[in-house]
Structure 1
Amino acid sequence: MQSLEPGVGVQATEFVEVGGRRVRYAATGTGPPVILLHGLGRSLEDWEPLQATLSGYQLIAIDLAGFGQSQALSDCGLASLAKHVEAALEVLGVPLGAHVVGNSLGGAVAMRLAASAPARVASLALLDSAGFGREVTWTLRILDLPLLWRLLLRPHADSALLSERSIFHNPAFATPERVALALALSRREGAARAFRRQAHALGSWRGVRRGWRKELLTEVSALDIPTLVVWGTHDRILPATHLVNAAAALPRARTHLFSRTGHMPQIERVDELAVLLGSFWDGP
């Protein structure tokens, strides 16, 4: 395993205007394009370890609308997020047929992008992705309850530490630099409201909503796009049992389960993931 060196969040990033909204991105390397989409309430910094490890590709990490330093959309539905990503790729001049990698919410956005604009997507790599089951951590369920979400999402150093620790199996990955970044992101104007709006669009106190999951998986299963689904055995956000659901919903997909790994294999298992992705993209 490779841990992130001190200085998380210091890689060079740039901004482009997409549909009148500012979008932040970080592009590294050269070669076939790979698009990296982060999870709910996260930012493109989650991809720094992979961008530093995986060579032979142009890796483009994007802050999804409303998160990181990208401006929010008036509609936070998956279709709008995916369309906004597609428009960003056009502005950036990314050719058709890019590999798309999504973690958590980013996985659902990646699937919606593939279903809506299949020519844009050469392959899908879904890391602990939303969309494969109802079960989700109680901290996201409670965001559906009035007033309580304001307390839960109030910026605080202790909350940032607990949040970072919850996404990793090994607590050592919740470094002071990552906690500081999480706290800074939570303090951005409109961050709590954007987080709550997105969580509410995807689920309720009962869990992840079935309607959008069923519709999306039906569309993706009909696509002829190579797909890899990866999970961590100790994911406390979206349980590893969802990998079984993914295999059933997408029977042609490859699957891989990382042991002793939490919600972000792109950080906890970056070396192994880089090898796995390279094999997936370069294989027959």
Structure 2
Amino acid sequence: MRLHESGDPATPPVLLLHGIGRSLEDWALQHPLLDGDYRVISIDMPGFGLSRRMPSPTTLAVLADGVWATLDTLGETRPVHLMGNSLGGAVSMAMLAAAPDRVSTLTLVNSAGFGKEVTVALRLLAVPGIGRQMLRRIDRLTAPRMERMIFADRTLVTPERIEMAIRIARQPDFVPVYLEIAKELGGLRGVAAAWRTELLAGIAASAKPTMLIWGERDLILPSKHLAAARAAFPHAQSHLFPRCGHMPQIECPDEFAGLVRPMLAGVAVP
């Protein structure tokens, strides 16, 4: 498992989880904004980024178990402030359902789990043969197109991000893990309803302090999903970033940290 850690290990832990096919680099800008007061840990989830996969077929539960096991290995057994972007949001909810006593707060950022609409590129992955072919053809021609779907500010499509996307796509676990989780979560018609309903039912009794964040110009998971997220978490705070895409933590880093900090600070340190 690949991870990045900053801040004093004695301070309350914050765990940052990325989206499908992504890596811990998507949280790099939040480390210096949070680690003055927190132990900040970002992880390449099993089979993504530069981490090896879990032995079992990849599901939300398997990803959640892998993340919990990583924290156990680090010796971090205190309740954590969970923050998840996209797929990482769904994994965060699965972690909350599995171990509510180990979660302090929940921040969902353009999270999967609140509607069937999703970009066509992800829906095509469910078509036999096409998905595998698409994922095997991530190169210097296709990677920039994928990165441009993520950001409203196209200046963020940097050579470094493109090179990292290509490096990730060349990892031996990348294609099978991507296809396994994509097929579990949905198909050609969009994100499946069954797992969303089951997951939200599993955390319905939890009233952890929650922040819901979305980018208004998200081309991956549309911002109208925020209304469904608010309905699922009626106690939560929420914010819609204008002129922002799928990763507000990158496009609006200071404003993002300013939003979540008061919620984190409002929780008593165990």
TM range (shorter): over 0.9
Deviation at 1:75, TM superposition (A): 2.1
In the TM superposition, 1:59-98 aligns within 5 A as 59-73=40-54, 74-98=56-80
Higher mean Cα deviation, 71-80 or 118-127?
71-80
SS of the counterpart of 1:228? strand
Q: Does 1:118 align with 2:100?
A: yes
Alignment match, 2:12: 32
C-alpha separation in 2, matches of 1:137 and 1:157: 21
Q: 1:39 is aligned with what amino acid?
A: G
Q: Does 1:203 align with 2:190?
A: no
Task: Let me know the Cα RMSD of the aligned residues.
Answer: 1.1
Q: Does the 8 Å contact 2:149/2:219 carry over to 1?
A: yes
SS of the counterpart of 1:79? helix
Higher mean Cα deviation, 176-185 or 149-158?
149-158
Deviation at 1:149, TM superposition (A): 1.2
Alignment match, 2:39: 58
Paired positions, count? 262
Alignment match, 1:47: 27
Alignment counterpart, residue 232 of structure 1, candidates 204, 215, 238: 215
With the length of structure 1 as denominator, give the TM-score of the two structures: 0.90
Deviation at 1:224, TM superposition (A): 2.3
C-alpha separation in 1, matches of 2:142 and 2:19: 18
Q: Does the 8 Å contact 2:245/2:251 carry over to 1?
A: yes
Which consecutive unaligned segments of at least 5 residues does structure 1 have? 1-22
Which consecutive unaligned segments of at least 5 residues does structure 2 have? none
Q: Does the 8 Å contact 1:96/1:119 carry over to 2?
A: no
Alignment match, 1:183: 166
Q: 1:230 is aligned with what amino acid?
A: I
Deviation at 1:221, TM superposition (A): 2.2
Alignment match, 1:4: none
SS of the counterpart of 2:239? strand
Alignment counterpart, residue 99 of structure 1, candidates 55, 71, 81: 81
Deviation at 1:56, TM superposition (A): 1.1
Q: Which runs of 4+ in 1 moved over 3 A?
A: none
Q: Does 1:222 align with 2:200?
A: no
Q: 2:30 is aligned with what amino acid?
A: L
Q: Does the 8 Å contact 1:169/1:234 carry over to 2?
A: yes
Deviation at 1:28, TM superposition (A): 0.5
SS of the counterpart of 2:57? coil
Alignment match, 1:173: 156
C-alpha separation in 1, matches of 2:173 and 2:99: 30
C-alpha separation in 2, matches of 1:220 and 1:240: 22
SS of the counterpart of 1:217? helix
C-alpha separation in 2, matches of 1:279 and 1:226: 11
C-alpha separation in 2, matches of 1:220 and 1:69: 30
With the length of structure 2 as denominator, give the TM-score of the two structures: 0.94
C-alpha separation in 1, matches of 2:26 and 2:138: 19
SS of the counterpart of 2:40? strand
Q: Quote the sequence identity (%).
A: 46
Q: Does the 8 Å contact 2:107/2:211 carry over to 1?
A: yes
Q: Does the 8 Å contact 2:150/2:245 carry over to 1?
A: yes
